[in-house]
Structure 1
Amino acid sequence: MSTCKGGTPRGPPKHQNKVVWKPNAGVKKNETEVGSKQRPFPAITGVCPRCKQQIEWRRKYGKYKPLVEPGKCNDCGKRAVRQAHHTICIACSKNRNVCAKCCRPAETIVGSNVDAEEVERKELEEALKTMRERDRRTLLRTMQGGNGGLKKPNKKENDDEDTDSYDEEDSAREHGSGSEENEEENEDEEDAVEEEDVKKNE
């Protein structure tokens, strides 16, 4: 019979592991089987981020069992499931916009466009093979974020333009202040002339 009381905090374990546990550490792995360096696992696609983490954990700790032959889809019934731990095929998951493992609607599907990207990459490689060297370099430059041979604006020219604009503004302000002073002087002269005329008339 247990003597420990329920609901009391026990704290951390007494002995902490200093070395990370590795599955099958003493077993020599065959280099030709799936999961080795020569035959790595395929990319995880068509699942939500939570299911992706679960599959990665299974791969890390030796719980992942790759498929030998395509599995049966629970939605359409066809043998089109080609990735382990998936319950429906990629086509059904795309049509329903759900995760291929947990079948729950997900906003973000990991690697949903991997096949399309791979096809596009192959087409691009084939097109690059048939292009001239000059055109190929131009295309690669534009793809890498270049400006496609356009001339970049010179910083010195921009600085000169800025200083010119500032000089014009300053000169306009000076001229504007001078014109105001001239108007005031003209008004004073007119007032003096009017006073002289009044004195003469008297």
Structure 2
Amino acid sequence: MSCQRGNIARVRKQKHQNVTTFKNTLHDSSKKTKAINEKEIAEVCKRCQDIITWKVKYKKYKPLSQPKTCTRCHKKTIKDAYYIVCLPCAQSLEVCCKCGKKEEIVSHFSPSKTEQLQALAQLEQEVKALSERKRRAYYRYVDKLQGKKKKKKKPAEGAEDSTVLSDGGEEEAEEEAAAAEDYLKSAREKLEKLKKGIDDDFLDDLDDLDLSDDDDDEWEDEDDDS
């Protein structure tokens, strides 16, 4: 950069170039750093998500030592750093948890394993209350969903593949969580349809029936002859 008036653009490259990318776990393998890296960043807009991701990547993230006060309900319900709105208030007002503005939320918190088990148990209880025909239709649909999940997961072959899997363990965990969430959502939608009496197979059978006006005319002709 020159001292010349108006010359604010630097043409040359950075003097000291980085040979390798920065890794926050290179010299720090503590449980705290591991927990920060595994932390889920959700219920925020795209800009706020990028900011928190940068802080985590370059070891600038400072977790809270105690709960923080929400700016909307004024209760100490915030457990995530840099958030100003608690999760219930953000969901009810449809705002970002970090900036508090009405922006598009890029991702939501995935349910925990306990919540998933509770949701599955509740689904089973509701399925038992259905009739035999609807219950079989539900289980056929669930079997198809489970078959799709098994096809997506393929075993690794060779040592090179195993190293790749070990490096992408976090991505696999995220994919499994998303698949489980989609499974619960699809199963719930199917159950609600069966509860309302809307069965896809039954509707397909109705579409296949040919209820034309010619049949009605034939019935009228037979009545006249009689």
Q: Which category describes the TM-score, using the shorter chain as reference length?
A: 0.5 to 0.7
**Is the contact between residue 44 and residue 110 of structure 1 (CA under 8 Å) also seen in structure 2?**
no
Higher alpha-carbon Rg = 1
Q: CA deviation at 1:140?
A: 3.9
Q: Cα RMSD over matched residues? A: 3.9
Alignment of 1:144-163 (within 5 A): 144=146
**Per the alignment, do residues 28 and 68 of structure 1 end up closer, same or farther by CA in structure 2, a change over 3 Å counting?**
same
SS state of the match for residue 80, structure 1?
Answer: strand
Aligned match of 2:105: 109
**Is the contact between residue 34 and residue 66 of structure 1 (CA under 8 Å) also seen in structure 2?**
no
Q: Name the one with the larger helix percent.
A: 2
Aligned match of 1:35: 33
Aligned match of 2:20: 19
Deviation digits for residues 148-173 of structure 1 (CA, Å, limit 9, x no counterpart): xx9xxxxxxxxxxxxxxxxxxxxxxx
Question: Structure 1, unaligned stretches of length 5 or more?
Answer: 151-202
Alignment of 1:1-202 (within 5 A): 4-8=3-7, 9-15=9-15, 16-23=17-24, 25=26, 27-30=27-30, 33-36=31-34, 41-106=38-103, 108-112=104-108, 114-115=110-111, 119=115, 121-126=116-121, 138-144=140-146
**Aligned counterparts of 1:143 and 1:3: Cα–Cα separation in 2:** 64
The percentage of counterpart residues that share the same residue type is: 26
**Aligned counterparts of 1:73 and 1:128: Cα–Cα separation in 2:** 34
**Per the alignment, do residues 144 and 96 of structure 1 end up closer, same or farther by CA in structure 2, a change over 3 Å counting?**
same
Give the TM-score taking structure 2 as reference length. Answer: 0.49
Q: CA deviation at 1:86?
A: 0.2
Q: CA deviation at 1:6?
A: 3.1
**Higher mean C-alpha deviation, range 90-99 or range 16-25:** 16-25
**Per the alignment, do residues 118 and 49 of structure 1 end up closer, same or farther by CA in structure 2, a change over 3 Å counting?**
farther
**Per the alignment, do residues 62 and 49 of structure 1 end up closer, same or farther by CA in structure 2, a change over 3 Å counting?**
same
- Aligned AA (1:99): C
**Per the alignment, do residues 71 and 18 of structure 1 end up closer, same or farther by CA in structure 2, a change over 3 Å counting?**
same
Q: CA deviation at 1:88?
A: 1.2
Deviation digits for residues 31-55 of structure 1 (CA, Å, limit 9, x no counterpart): xx33317x85331121111111111
- Aligned AA (1:114): S
**Per the alignment, do residues 101 and 3 of structure 1 end up closer, same or farther by CA in structure 2, a change over 3 Å counting?**
closer
